[in-house]
Copies of this chain bind each other. A is one copy, B any other.
Amino acid sequence: MGKSNLDLVSECDNFPYYEDDRNAYTENLNNYHAFKVSGYNCTLGYILNEVVEKFPWSDNCWTIDSAARTVTLVTPPDANPAVRSKLVAEDIAKAVKQDKFEILKGWRNEKYPVYGPGGEFLLEMERAASPLFGIVSYGAHLTGYVHDVTGLKIWVPRRAKNKQTYPSLLDNTVAGGMCTGERPFECIVREAMEEASLPESVVRAATVSRGCVTYSHVRDARAGGETGLIQPEVEYVYDLQLDPGVIPKPGDNEVEEFKLLSIPEVQQALARGEFKPNCANIMIDFFVRHGLLTPENEPDFLQIVARLHRRLEYPTASHCAR
């Protein structure tokens, strides 16, 4: 049998929906504290209660309200992103020193941004710590495909055996997380060179923006580190039709190999659970956009399309360059 497309989408977008079961939704939220920043009336992420208990919060800048279940970074009204980021970084460094969290062993030395209402940049934090705070993270994924006489084929990489997260699983042609200040298209250009050795000129000329996939993921053992952490994500989606002569090659040690797979081969690998969960979502979105999954051949079409585009319950970024 294998996994259905809805099974795959549901594995990635696995944080409960209010409308499915109002009581279960509220009960589940009781396992978390809302992450807030003083001066902003919004929830920026959800922190697992066990993380709240273990994290070395400094008394001088955090207020924890156990009744309201909130953790608030309290700073003077004139605090700027640099001030907030420094306070958060100091406590994350303490947590690393005290060896508090498994997930912090996957230190990336990359900074992920946190946005408030209207897309205002509030602070940044080490990427590895972002699931502890449950903040929205941003990435960009590109599907490189070829149209030849035998039909449509997709360039699919296999992740390296020694990757910290999801080792040996299948991935999208090019994919990467966006650090503070990076824009989605530039992220794709950079990652296409780093991960797939695709020439910048090819990528800039022929890559087309196709929307985004959004979901709210609760991490399980496959992600490595603590489980139950919430990871809401935005993945900007791009297509790149490649000439049959252009062959992606691993450019760093993150990818083991690239294979050009037919659509049935990709579908079988999906059903066997061989793709990294969020990459399965991007692939299914590709199938929907290219007319391969249709209302007439996919019984769960409506559920799938809606859950590929979850409206996140947090403020999100604007990456607009205007």
Whether A311 touches B320, Cβ cut-off 8 Å, given contacts A210-B291, A295-B212, A301-B212, is: no
Whether A184 touches B295, Cβ cut-off 8 Å, given contacts A234-B302, A311-B310, is: yes
A253 touches B (CB below 8 Å): no
Residue from the list B290, B296, B309, B319 in contact with A183, Cβ < 8 A = B296
A61 touches B (CB below 8 Å): no
Q: Across the two chains, which residue of chain B brings its CB closest to A299?
A: B320
Q: Is the CB of B322 within 8 A of A288?
A: no
Q: What band does the interface of chain A fall in when counting residues whose beta carbon is under 8 Å from B?
A: 35 or more
A236 touches B (CB below 8 Å): yes
How distant is the Cα of A312 from the Cα of B301 in the complex, in angstroms? Answer: 13
Q: Which residues of B contact A212 (CB under 8 A)?
A: 295, 301-302, 305
Instruction: Quickly give the copy total for this chain.
Output: 2
Q: Is the CB of A310 within 8 A of B306?
A: yes
How distant is the Cα of A147 from the Cα of B273 in the complex, in angstroms? Answer: 39
Convert A236-263 into 0s and 1s, putting 1 for each residue whose CB lies closer than 8 angstroms to a CB of B: 1000000000000000000000000000
Main secondary structure of the interface of A (DSSP, over half): loop
Whether A211 touches B302, Cβ cut-off 8 Å, given contacts A19-B311, A296-B319, is: no
A307 touches B (CB below 8 Å): yes
Whether A19 touches B209, Cβ cut-off 8 Å, given contacts A295-B320, A296-B319, A299-B322, is: no
Convert A201-230 into 0s and 1s, putting 1 for each residue whose CB lies closer than 8 angstroms to a CB of B: 000000011111010000000000000000
**Could you list 21 A-B pairs, sorted by A, with CB under 8 Å?**
A183-B296, A185-B294, A185-B296, A209-B291, A209-B295, A210-B289, A211-B289, A212-B301, A214-B305, A295-B320, A296-B322, A297-B321, A300-B318, A301-B320, A302-B312, A302-B317, A302-B318, A303-B311, A306-B310, A307-B311, A309-B309
Residues of A within 8 A of B (CB): 17-19, 119, 183-185, 208-212, 214, 234, 236, 288-291, 293-303, 305-313, 316-322
